[in-house]
Amino acid sequence: MSPESTAHPPPISATRTSTGLTVSAVLDDNEYPTSRTFTKDEREAIQQRVQRDDFHGEWNYTIAP
């Protein structure tokens, strides 16, 4: 295996753009429950709080508290 194939990309904290955008990230190492099943009413209540972005709303959205 060549060294190039095992190299890791730079961390997201090193991301910069030509216009000055800086991205930062922190690791959230809290534990969260898995395999949680929501009822139909819970899913509908959550969907009412979701605001989808015009650009790729399936990926870009905000959920109100």
pLDDT digits (tens, 9 = 90+) for 1-14: 455 556 777 776 67
Binning pLDDT at 50, 70 and 90, where does residue 18 land?
confident
Question: What contacts 22, CB < 8 A, 6 or more positions away?
Answer: 15, 16
What's the domain count of the chain?
Answer: 1
Output the pTM of the full model.
0.44
Task: Identify the CA nearest to 25 among candidates 15, 12, 16, 14.
Answer: 12
Assess if residue 59 is contained within a domain: yes
On whether residue 15 sits in a domain, the answer given is yes
Which range marks the domain in which residue 20 is found? 3-26+36-63
Q: Are the CB atoms for 18 and 24 separated by under 8 Å?
A: no
